[in-house]
Structure 1
């Protein structure tokens, strides 16, 4: 089954074409301009490159956020529309769970942190149970100091990843110096990837955990603004 995944939640536009769990091709572009200007031409190019049409796609996957408000909305609306018009199954995933899945060392608590701008970060905490990453907190938006205070209350070793962890690395290292032996910042997982989203989406599909395209909405966590 062909799977088409889209992630427009960050400044990195990520599109992936897979067959079951096997990646066929992917596009990752710096999206300093409008996501809408790049998304549809890149989708069209990717399908034509592999001699496919939208009717050949058996599953659509989309990152619903949190992330850039306008960009997130573009991706969600695009995938929802194709799911409704063409009757293609749809799976929505959060950017935080996608990022957490990109961390190889899953023996620790994983805290994906996304730069939310305006002096805040989005984050959540996951742990692996029976081979599955399970959220152990809700999705939150706090100033970096709020994240430091929250992490200081946790027990066990913690891996931080994502654009927020990179941007506020020095601040968090200083604020978490008392538990520095338990904190690792992962440099390899900065932006959520449609490649990983496709793998997670396919597993959700096999478990019959599909989303209703009419009801699927962007996950903002805080009030939307135009960025």
Structure 2
């Protein structure tokens, strides 16, 4: 089975082609270019450089979040369009799962952290078990101190990965001096990791409904501000 995987959940845009146990090709760009103009160009180049056509692809994988609201919508819309146009299935995978899977052989807790602005992060805790991920907590948007307390309670060694590492590394080391950190090339979402997870699910005949939507964890800022204004307006009318 050949799968095409796409991630645009963060500043990074990445796409990969995988066939069964082999990575055919992967492109990753991390320089804040507009994903809306970049993703399809990456897909076209991947296919061309791999001497493949879109009809050769048996399924699609996309990150469903958490992450950038705009980026997630771009990735999801792209994959839905490719899936509908080719009548091939697609499946969406958590961005946090993809980050953690790159470190699946770590002997301890794997903790991806994605920037959720201010001092909060999108996160989940995992342990690797025979090449598979086991979740220890559910996907969450937590204040950094909440996450640190949870990890202290677990009392195990931990490795951090994700785009929030550089922002919070000094503070994490202050509070968790024995913490480890993934190398830079594994602290970004890799389409190859996303593709490996998705390929196994597609082989098990799992797939998304065309009406599936991104997994934000937090409401968009504009929606939160609107709800706040409406709440204040209702209070004033009482």
> TM-score with structure 2 length normalisation?
0.86
Residue 138 of structure 1 pairs with residue 138 of structure 2: yes
Per-residue deviation, 1:130: 4.6
Partners of 2:104 and 2:127 within 8 A in 1: no
Residue 5 of structure 1 pairs with residue 5 of structure 2: yes
Aligned to 1:37: 37
Per-residue deviation, 1:198: 1.1
Query: Which structure is higher in helix share?
Result: 2
Residue 202 of structure 1 pairs with residue 209 of structure 2: no
Aligned to 2:211: 215
Cα distance between partner residues in 1 of 2:26 and 2:114: 22
Cα distance between partner residues in 1 of 2:162 and 2:189: 8
Cα distance between partner residues in 2 of 1:28 and 1:6: 10
Map Cα deviations across residues 104-163 of structure 1 (whole Å, 9 max, x no partner): 543211111111224321100011235421112111112222222222222322221112
1:59-208 equivalence runs, <5 A: 59-103=59-103, 105-176=105-176, 180-181=177-178, 183-188=179-184, 189-208=186-205
Structure 1 segments of 4 or more deviating over 3 A? none
Cα distance between partner residues in 2 of 1:131 and 1:29: 27
Per-residue deviation, 1:191: 1.0
Map Cα deviations across residues 85-118 of structure 1 (whole Å, 9 max, x no partner): 3211112111111111111543211111111224
Partners of 1:68 and 1:116 within 8 A in 2: no
Cα distance between partner residues in 1 of 2:29 and 2:80: 22
- RMSD over aligned Cα, in angstroms? 1.8
Cα distance between partner residues in 2 of 1:135 and 1:85: 34
Structure 2 portions without partners, runs of 5+:
223-238
Provide the secondary structure at the position in 1 that maps to 2:187: coil
The 1:31/1:80 distance shift into structure 2, 3 A limit, reads farther
Cα distance between partner residues in 2 of 1:9 and 1:192: 8
